[in-house]
């Protein structure tokens, strides 16, 4: 079918707008990368707009020489890996029983947890609770204190519910108990859902800053995001880094910040293309099944 002139015009407008939007969405990241490998002088004078100029990796060298970033990086990996594992374990502990129609008290438990989506104690009582539990400035507070997202429990539950009951029944006939059924039938069948939920947890762990900032004081325990926050908002470029700032034409506070930002988002950028479809699935699962 031949397109009319007005159709072609609207096509041009639509494609044009979407291209501009896509560029707007990734441009800041391209800029950050270009600025991080350009000389401080060309960044400050505004010569770097898209492509890097006077390419130098000295900002990266400075960032990576700073032991603080390695500590923070290690902490973030720890919080993400261990935290996500704990997240998944506890989420399964709730989602699986709650997916069973026959479970007595199910409605009450579902309300008990759903209530926390509508009403929360808030920042101060949550903080004082950690304090009373003696968890201030401990890694446990981060790992255990944020172990469950009610929303993701419900997402996983609706996935479990979509698995036909007949599988469970036939396993029961063969004498399997609920734990065996979960481990041998439900979990293997739920891999896509577990990956999706796990990824939502992992991204939240990797990116989380607020409670880490509130609960942790000890520099040796803080994750990357808290370090970044100190660097960017409080403008405290590590002493060691600025002490060697004699060659200010090659790097500056800006290029150091850009380099640190890039180092922190690199893992997400690398894995992002592979994982995108899972996020899309999870979002649809969460939305359509409301």
Residues of this chain, 3-42, that bind another protein according to CB under 8 A: 6-7, 10-11, 14-15, 17-19, 21-22, 24-26, 28-29, 31-32
> At its nearest, how many Å lie between another protein and the CB of residue 109?
7
Q: Which two tokens stand for residue 170?
A: 């036939």
Near another protein by CB under 8 A: residue from 60, 79, 206, 251: 206
Q: Within 84-113, which residues bind another protein (CB under 8 A)?
A: 90, 92-94, 96-97, 100, 102-104, 109, 112-113
**With binding defined as CB under 8 A, does residue 254 bind another protein?**
yes
Q: Do residues 142 and 204 lie in contact, with contact meaning Cβ atoms separated by under 8 Å?
A: no
Q: Count the site residues for another protein by CB under 8 A.
A: 91
If the CB atoms of residues 19 and 65 are measured against another protein, the closer one turns out to be 19
Q: Do residues 190 and 160 lie in contact, with contact meaning Cβ atoms separated by under 8 Å?
A: yes
**With binding defined as CB under 8 A, does residue 273 bind another protein?**
yes
Closest-CA residue to 178 (of 104, 100, 101, 85): 100
Look-up: residue for tokens 């609960």?
215
> At its nearest, how many Å lie between another protein and the CB of residue 264?
6
Dihedrals phi, psi of 110, to nearest 5 degrees: -60, -40
**With binding defined as CB under 8 A, does residue 178 bind another protein?**
yes
Q: Within 46-75, which residues bind another protein (CB under 8 A)?
A: 46, 49
What is the C-alpha to C-alpha distance for residues 110 and 151, in angstroms, rounded to an integer?
11
Helix residue ranges per DSSP H, 100-250: 106-118, 123-132, 139-145, 150-161, 165-173, 178-181, 187-189, 191-207, 210-215, 224-232, 239-243
Region near another protein per CB under 8 A, out of 65-73, 77-85, 188-196, 230-238: 230-238
């Amino acid at each position: 079918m031949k397109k009319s002139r007005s159709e072609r015009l609207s096509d041009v407008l639509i494609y044009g707008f979407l291209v501009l939007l896509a560029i707007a969405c990734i441009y800041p990241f391209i800029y950050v990368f270009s600025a991080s490998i350009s000389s401080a002088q060309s960044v400050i004078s505004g010569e770097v707009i898209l492509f890097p100029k006077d390419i130098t990796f000295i900002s990266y060298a400075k960032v990576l020489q700073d032991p603080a970033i390695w500590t923070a990086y290690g902490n973030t990996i720890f919080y993400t890996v261990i935290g996500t594992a704990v997240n998944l374990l506890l989420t399964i502990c709730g989602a699986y029983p709650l997916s069973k129609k026959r479970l007595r008290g199910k409605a009450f438990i579902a309300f008990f947890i759903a209530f926390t989506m509508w009403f929360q104690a808030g920042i101060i009582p949550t903080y004082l609770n950690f304090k009373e539990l003696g968890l201030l400035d401990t890694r446990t507070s981060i790992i255990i204190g944020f172990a469950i997202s009610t929303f993701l429990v419900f997402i996983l539950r609706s996935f479990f519910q979509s698995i036909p009951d007949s599988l469970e029944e036939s396993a029961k006939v063969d004498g399997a108990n609920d734990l065996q059924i979960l481990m041998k039938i439900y979990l293997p069948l739920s891999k896509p859902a577990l990956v999706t939920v796990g990824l939502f947890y992992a991204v939240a762990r990797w990116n989380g800053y607020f409670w880490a900032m509130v609960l942790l004081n000890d520099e040796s325990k803080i994750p990357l995001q808290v370090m970044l926050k100190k660097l960017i908002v409080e403008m405290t470029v590590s002493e060691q880094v600025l002490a060697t700032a004699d060659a200010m034409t090659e790097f500056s506070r800006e290029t150091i910040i850009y380099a640190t930002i890039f180092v922190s988002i690199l893992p997400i950028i690398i894995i992002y293309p592979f994982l995108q479809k899972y996020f899309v699935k999870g979002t649809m699962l969460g939305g359509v099944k409301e």
